[in-house]
A and B are shown apart, each in its own frame.
Chain A
Amino acid sequence: TAGITQAPTSQILAAGRSMTLRCTQDMRHNAMYWYRQDLGLGLRLIHYSNTAGTTGKGEVPDGYSVSRANTDDFPLTLASAVPSQTSVYFCASSGDRGYGYTFGSGTRLTVV
């Protein structure tokens, strides 16, 4: 089934450690996004990529980095995790600018 695959599904990470959340799509969508979801705050954009080779900062980019080496993959890296990065992370993609995002199933990250 076409869509977005995120890995891992969940992770417990010690503060100060680094981690990369993986996201792969098979729909050949140009744009990809990383959101974090926190109770009462909805979905907040961390980073985005309009096309392979380009990335941009979203609403809450600090502490995160991304790369877009090809169309299909958009990994999110936490260089040195802090407890405030405990959240559920969603990757999404879209074929049209601003419309009809497809979301992955999320990665639940707990930083202790």
Chain B
Amino acid sequence: GQQLNQSPQSMFIQEGEDVSMNCTSSSIFNTWLWYKQDPGEGPVLLIALYKAGELTSNGRLTAQFGTTRKDSFLNISASIPSDVGIYFCAGAGQGAQKLVFGQGTRLTINP
């Protein structure tokens, strides 16, 4: 089945730093999504991407749908304490009925 590899698994950064994480797939995806999970909560959708090459921003977050359609990137600029959490990528291939999720990137921010 389709698999997603998300990296890094964890990040420890200083407040104010920029953050980058990525996801790669073994097959072509038509949809990429990025979720954030706060402690004790379920994941919440941050950004959805539907077209190869698409670059979409949501405040300090920017995500890109890779041109090969096998990868996606999420960047967070000028990190703040509330950015702490687990970030998941998710994708769906052509005709897929269900999303496939990456393993998650745990972000920790030192004030």
Which residues from chain A sit less than 8 Å from chain B, CB to CB? 4, 31, 33, 35, 40-45, 48, 50, 58-59, 90, 92, 97-106
Q: How many A-B residue pairs have CB under 8 A?
A: 59
> With the chains together, A4 CA to B40 CA distance in Å?
15
A42–B1 touching, CB < 8 Å: no
For the complex with contacts A43-B43, A100-B33, A100-B48, 8 further pairs of A-B residues with Cβ separation under 8 Å are A4-B42, A35-B101, A48-B98, A90-B43, A98-B31, A98-B96, A104-B42, A106-B41
Which residues from chain B sit less than 8 Å from chain A, CB to CB? 1, 6, 9, 31, 33, 40-45, 48, 88, 90, 92, 96-99, 101-104
A42–B101 touching, CB < 8 Å: yes
Interface secondary structure of B, over-half rule: loop
